[in-house]
A = this chain, B = another copy of it.
Amino acid sequence: MAIAELEAASMNSANPRTSATMKAMVYHGPGRCGWEDKPRPVIQEPGDAIVRITTSTICGTDLHILKGDLPAVTDGRILGHEGIGVVEQVGTGVSEFHVGDKVIISCVTACLKCDFCRKAMYSHCRHGGWILGNTIDGTQAEYVRIPQADGSLYHFPANGDEESLVMLCDILPTGFECGVLNGQVKPGDSVAIVGAGPVGLAVLLTAQFYSPSAIFIIDLDAKRLAVAKKFGATTLINSTGGNAAQQVMELTAGAGVDVAIEAVGLPATFAICQAIVAAGGRIANVGIHGKPVELHLEKLWDRNISLTTRLVDTVTTPMLLKIVRSGKLQPSKLVTHRFAMNDIMKAYDTFGNAAKEGALTVVLTNGSPR
């Protein structure tokens, strides 16, 4: 069936142009990418929507892709799995979104129908999961095709702030679901977050939904620790000296913390979590790991701990939206730099040198930055 027919079938197209090109951030193998012309995406399946991107951002994972760490991402792929935009076109199977709707794009695509989606494990959706900017073209572009749109888009609230809400595409649900929910943070708990990068800070912001009495944050970078202080951390631990675990144990009178959250992805930082978790405590892994770690079961077998892993499911997006709207969470705190989408190569440079640039997250806008 020709594209024109498909579009006719969709009966909802607001935009008659079908073969126009667009600009997009295209990956060409390790170290090579560019802001290039690409064909505008079209509806391929009944569940698809085409979204015109207004705001996007860059994730740490995108840097890994550029280094070549994720071989599933192949030459020609448009990067990006986060974005805010406006629905331009919907397939015949889409019922919850209409042309003109402003939407938040989830980094995880969910069919809602498979066994995993039924268990609220959208991350493992049999027809989706994390595919945007990975196995299909992504959001760092002027337009993106969103499969399974009904399960993968969220309505942008009236009077919402794009810069804040683009943080709900990935980083905030990641910190909240993988770190805070899996760590079962409870009122009065002591929590340690290992890593004060953007994801660690997302954990920090969302952990406070549950009123822990103490939040330790551990990092090598004094500047990031200073930011963490402003974001609500109660104790800063500089791990430069290699004795972070010892410091936490001393500050907790040898008890350790109720919840230790790993937000880096290295054996050394995971080791800190094992060393500081209290008997009966939880270790919640958020970091992406490239190698095995040593698990000290000879010390932990009788400590009644739990250890969890998770790829974000984005099932808490509606909850996070409510909290943002109530004013209890200001995600734009995480934004330090703003670029026009056309300047995405500069944005990558800045984000790639985050420590030097003092960058947390960078926001990209189609049109001029605010």
Which residue numbers of A lie inside 8 Å of B, CB to CB? 46-47, 92-93, 95-96, 111-121, 123-124, 127, 150-151, 182, 186-188, 208-214, 234, 265, 270, 279-280, 285, 287-298, 300-311, 313, 315, 318-323, 325-326, 328
B112 near A112 with CB under 8 A, answer yes
**Residue in B127, B298, B315 whose CB lies within 8 Å of A290:** B298
Per the bound structure, the CA–CA distance linking A118 and B152 in Å amounts to 12
Task: Give the Cβ gap from A335 to chain B, nearest Cβ, in Å.
Answer: 22
Chain B residue, CB-CB nearest to A187: B209
A116 to B96 Cα, complex, angstroms = 14
| Cβ B209 vs Cβ A210 within 8 A | yes
Are B116 and A279 within 8 A (Cβ)? yes
Is the beta-carbon distance between A297 and B293 smaller than 8 angstroms?
yes
Distance in Å: Cβ of A179 to nearest Cβ of chain B: 13
Query: A112 — nearest CB in chain B belongs to which residue?
Result: B112
Instruction: Say how far A6's CB is from chain B's closest CB, in angstroms.
Output: 12
Residues of B contacting A294 in the complex (Cβ-Cβ under 8 angstroms): 292-295
CB contact under 8 A between A298 and B289, given known A118-B318, A323-B187: yes
Q: Which of B210, B306, B313, B322 makes the CB contact (< 8 A) with A306?
A: B306
User: Looking at the complex, which one of B151, B296, B306 makes contact with A307 (CB distance below 8 Å)?
Assistant: B306
Not counting A92-B93, A96-B113, a sample of 11 additional A-B residue pairs whose C-beta atoms are within 8 angstroms of each other reads: A46-B93, A47-B95, A113-B151, A123-B304, A289-B297, A289-B301, A294-B295, A300-B309, A301-B311, A302-B310, A303-B309
Which residue in B115, B307, B311 is a CB contact (below 8 Å) of A318? B115
Smallest Cβ distance from A233 to chain B, in angstroms? 13
A295, B295: Cβ atoms under 8 Å? yes
Nearest opposing residue in chain B for A180, CB measure? B187
B280 x A328 contact (CB < 8 A): no
Q: Which of A111, A187, A285, A321 has the most CB of B within 10 A?
A: A187
Could you say which of B111, B209, B304 contacts A95, with CB atoms under 8 Å apart? B111
Residues of B with C-beta under 8 A to A188: 318-323, 326
17 contacts between A and B (CB under 8 A): A47-B95, A95-B113, A95-B127, A112-B151, A113-B151, A118-B318, A119-B280, A124-B304, A187-B209, A188-B319, A285-B301, A292-B294, A292-B296, A301-B311, A302-B310, A306-B306, A306-B308
* Contact assessment for A328 and B93 in the assembled complex, using a CB-CB cutoff below 8 Å: no
Cβ-defined contact, B113 with A112, below 8 A: yes
A313-B46 Cα distance, complex, nearest whole Å = 27
3 shortest A-B CB distances, which residue pairs? A93-B93, A213-B326, A188-B322
Q: Which chain B residue shows the least CB distance to A321? A: B188
Q: Is the CB of B119 within 8 A of A211?
A: no
* Given A294-B292, A294-B295, A187 and B319 contact (CB-CB distance below 8 Å): yes
Residues of B within 8 A of A311 (CB): 301-304
Closest B residue by C-beta to A151: B113
CB-nearest residue of chain B to A315 = B118
Q: A287: nearest residue on chain B (CB-CB)?
A: B301
B113, A213: Cβ atoms closer than 8 Å: no
The answer to whether B113 and A302 touch across the interface, beta carbons within 8 angstroms, is no
**Which B residues lie within 8 Å of A288 (CB)?**
301-302
Give Cα distance in the complex from A18 to B127, angstroms: 33
- For A286, the closest partner residue in chain B by CB is B301
- Given the known interface contacts A213-B326, A290-B298, A309-B305, the answer about A186 and B285 at a Cβ–Cβ threshold of 8 Å is no
